[in-house]
Amino acid sequence: MNASRVQLPDLEREQRLLEIRREAEQRGAVTAKGIRSTGAPFPMASPETGYYGIPLLKRPSWTWEIPLYFFVGGAAGASAVVGAIANYTGADRRLVRDARWIAAAGSVISPALLISDLGRPSRFLNMLRVFKAQSPMSVGVWTLLGFSGGSVAAAFAGSLRERYGESLPIRILENAGEAASLLFGLPFSNYTGVLIGATAIPAWNENAGELPMHFGMSGLAASVGLLELMGHRRSRALQMLGLGAAVFECWEGWHLESHKISALEPLKHGSSGRLTRVGGVLSGPLPVALRVASLMSGKNSTKMRKWAAISAVAGSLLTRIAWIHAGHVSAGDWREPLQVSE
């Protein structure tokens, strides 16, 4: 090695490196500008210019179909679970039938929305060529496939049994379909929370641990609301399920508001923040107040439950729209350091 090319440590440089390390430990980010090596073949990437004009963090390319897909899938998956449990416990047969048909309708609408966003059916079919357990997208597509088959089979067999009576083939088809819809219904109602939490978008990634439960409870609230709007406003079990989901949504709203992290700012400010808060109020405090008032009236007021159901369904849909919108905003604000405000 040529001794003339060996560069000895410089005291000033070593001191600067020590300052940078301390800044990184204290703030969680380094604000000092980097340097571009002489003769480097590429320009310095920056928040303003990106890398060769390409943004460093890509915004979601999803269209309007995706938040609607999230909403429909959440309500359908939860309805399949509600219907199966109602059937196993000997609840009202009309409740079981309506829950199954909500699940079946959602299992048909969901792939249609997904294919519409993808652009053509072949892209959806290509996703079924492989199964990747580590990919939320791959797991979600196969879950959708299993859920669709099970929920449609259960609803169809139940309809045949009501029209033509009991028979062994119909009973086998109904039981198998219900078991499949129950097995796939729960993950289908909340896998979308896992899907967006696994991205690099700060507002989503920061809530990766809470999003699946949040979306699952929001889907349950929508399912209960739809069933109540279909006339099941005397069921105490649905009342308790709706109240439990609304209480959880209140807690989720408090959780988001109490954490002073810059990555969560799109969920609190601007148009995305307003959507999030309105959706939170419609999903949590308002249904809680209406359902509690209904219980305290002593008559299980169907009118209050109707408005609680409308509020829960609207809040669930608006919540999905708000989270997607916040993801777009967060992708543009990625350069903000993740630090707790005083």
Closest CA to 118 of 109, 127, 108: 127
Query: How far apart are alpha carbons 154 and 185 in whole angstroms?
Result: 12
Note the pLDDT of residue 107: 94
Q: Please, how many CA atoms are within 13 Å of residue 24, restricted to the half-sphere of its CB?
A: 8
Mean pLDDT, residues 10-36 taken together? 72
**Does the structure show a pLDDT above 80 at 64?**
yes
Q: Which residue has the tokens 């129950």?
A: 182
Query: How far apart are alpha carbons 55 and 52 in whole angstroms?
Result: 9
Note the pLDDT of residue 340: 38
User: What confidence category does residue 12 fall into, taking pLDDT thresholds of 50, 70 and 90?
Assistant: confident
CA dihedral 281, 316, 140, 240 (to 10 degrees): 90
Query: How far apart are alpha carbons 234 and 63 in whole angstroms?
Result: 38
Note the pLDDT of residue 120: 86
**Does the structure show a pLDDT above 50 at 337?**
no
CA-based angle 252:254:256, to the nearest 5?
A: 70
Closest CA to 229 of 303, 152, 321, 320: 303
**Does the structure show a pLDDT above 70 at 8?**
no
What's the longest Cα–Cα distance across the chain?
95
What are 87-117's pLDDT values in tens digits? 999 888 999 999 999 999 999 999 999 999 9
Helix axes 168-197, 93-118, angle to 10 degrees: 50
Helix axes 65-88, 93-118, angle to 10 degrees: 160
The pTM score is 0.81
What are 305-319's pLDDT values in tens digits? 999 999 999 999 999
Q: Please tell me the least confidently modeled range out of 14-23, 107-116, 267-276.
A: 14-23
Q: Which helix (H) or strand (E) holds 295?
A: helix 285-296
User: What confidence category does residue 251 fall into, taking pLDDT thresholds of 50, 70 and 90?
Assistant: very high
- In angstroms, the first-to-last Cα distance of the chain is 53
